[in-house]
Every structure is written in C-alpha cells, then in structure tokens.
A and B are shown apart, each in its own frame.
Chain A
Amino acid sequence: MFEKLISFSAAGLLVILNLAPGAVSAADDPAELNDLEIAHVAYTADNIDIRYAHLALAISENPAIHEFAETMIRDHTAVNEQALALLAKLDATPQDNFLSRSLKKDSDALVDEMSRLRGAAFDRRYAENELAYHHAVNDLVENAFIPNIENAEVKTLFEAGLGIFKNHEQHAAAMVDQVR
C-alpha cells in the first residue's frame, strides 16, 4: 500500500514536471530523500508558487486572481520563514537535489508560457495550474514526505504546511470555476 502511495505521488508530480514515468530511477525516488533534501524541495516549491503569484499580479486584471495571488505570497512566505527559523534552530542547511532542480526547471518553462498570455486566457491558465500544482505537491507531501521525515519538529511543520496548502487547493478549485 505504502509503495503504491509513493508511486502515485511520484506519478502526480511527474505530470507537473512533464516527465515520462520511465524517467524515474531508484536514485530519483522522492521517498528516498532525506530531511534536508525534503526541506529544500518544500522551500523551492514555496518560492515557485510565490513567483507564479507575482506573475499573476503583474498580468491579471481580475480582482479574484489578485486576492488569491496575494494570499499565496503571504502564506508561502510565512511558511518559508517558519522553515528557515526551524533550520536555523537545528543548525541545518537544506540540500539541493534532483526534485528541486526539476521543479525549478519546469517552473521556468511555465512562467515563460504564462508570460505570453493575457486576459481571461492567463487567468484560466494560472488558476488551473494553481489547482494542479497544489494537488500534486500536497499528494507528494502527504504520502511521500511526511511518512519519511525523521525529525519530529520538521514533521510537525510539514503537517501544518499540508493543512495550509490543502486550503489553497480548495481555494484554487473555486477560482478555476470562477474564471472558467
């Protein structure tokens, strides 16, 4: 069961990363990441969503999109501050890894794509991506990261973060309906 959950999580993220399922090797298994690598992935994922939000504030003229984007910036910044404070307390440094790099690379392509859109087309793309992105990352956090995090304080922070990001996913789903 647990292996199935991890496979599902990895598959979900691969959709976001635009990678073929066969591209994952044992060395590229999200469930094999250590706590510091997981922290790096989470920090990277937070910053990617903040970047999408700034793009939305720059391009969209829809007040609902603006409100959502501002919430993404506010919440992801708050979570990152908590994560950095915890890492400082633990005297630990996040470790870069394959998943962080893949997320970053994929987000660069998506920002490039969304930057060319305007009006309702941008709003729809942004909203749909926010829903898909939060769904995939939440799935990964819940089923691959949290069960494997060893440090209790790090695990608690991820559990709190998951609650926040599930709320974002619901909010994004409502926004998708709104801009459809």
Chain B
Amino acid sequence: MKLPSLLLLTVVVLIATVSLAPASLAEEHVVEIRDFAFIPEKISARPGDTITWINRDIVPHTATARDHGWDTGEIKPNGRTTLEISPRFSREYFCNYHPAMRGAL
C-alpha cells in the first residue's frame, strides 16, 4: 500500500472512531409504570441516553416534564414510548393524568 493510501485509511478510521464514540457511550434505560408508580422512580441518565417507559397498568399514563418541556404523550396499557434525552431536558417529571405519580432523571 502506498503512503497516501495509508494516510487516507488512517484518517477515515480516525473519523469513524470519533463519530461513533458518543453513540457507543449512550445508555438505554427502561422505566416501568406499574401500580401508579414509575419504577425506578429516579434514574441516572445523561444527554444522548434513551429512556423507554413501559405501561404495565390497565389505564393510560404519560411521562411529562414538570415544566412541560418534554412529554411522552399518552402511553396506552401495555404500550411503550422511547425518548432520547437532550441537554434541555428538565429532571422532574410526572403523569399528566395522575399528578401524584412522580419521577426524576
């Protein structure tokens, strides 16, 4: 392999590595909604992570930011909704239908 080709290959590999690095660090979290509670109630997550809320109750729920900056919308019984956390996500959230249900990121 000639020198220019080797350099090009090195650059491509470096770019690929750098661009893939953040994605490989992202985590997938699952929050179950059961008996009118978010389980776990608090999760440690950061921007780039995804959270999937799974509704195990027989009535619809939501996961809605206290400041209404983000919202899963209605999650039907046995349904699930996944959101990717952005830096602007506020931490505290609740069920818009059942305000006593509270969770935190």
Contacts and interface: CB of A to CB of B under 8 A. Distances in A.
Q: Real complex partners, A and B? A: yes
Contact of B60 (A78, A82, A171, A174): A78
A74 B60 CA distance: 8
A78 B100 contact: no
B58 A160 contact: yes
Interface stretch (A100-108, A127-135, A162-170): A162-170
B99 A78 contact: no
A167 B58 contact: no
A70 B99 CA distance: 13
A93 interface: no
Interface residues of B, number: 11
Chain B interface SS verdict (over half): loop
B98 A78 contact: no
Interface string B84-105: 0000000000000111100000
Contacts of A157: 58
Interface residues of A, number: 16
Nearest to B34: A163
A interface secondary structure, majority? helix
Interface string A57-90: 0000000000000110011001100100000000
A7 B63 CA distance: 40
Nearest to A83: B58
Contacts of A71: 97-98
B59 interface: yes
Contact of A171 (B35, B58, B100): B100
A164 B58 CA distance: 9
Given A163-B35, A163-B36, A167-B36, A75 B100 contact: no
Given A163-B36, A164-B36, A167-B36, A74 B98 contact: no
Given A78-B77, A161-B58, 6 more contacts: A74-B59, A74-B97, A78-B60, A157-B58, A163-B35, A164-B58
30 contacts: A71-B98, A74-B59, A74-B60, A75-B59, A75-B60, A75-B97, A78-B58, A78-B59, A78-B60, A78-B77, A79-B58, A79-B59, A82-B58, A160-B57, A160-B58, A161-B58, A163-B35, A163-B36, A164-B36, A164-B57, A164-B58, A164-B59, A167-B36, A167-B98, A167-B100, A170-B100, A171-B98, A171-B99, A171-B100, A174-B99
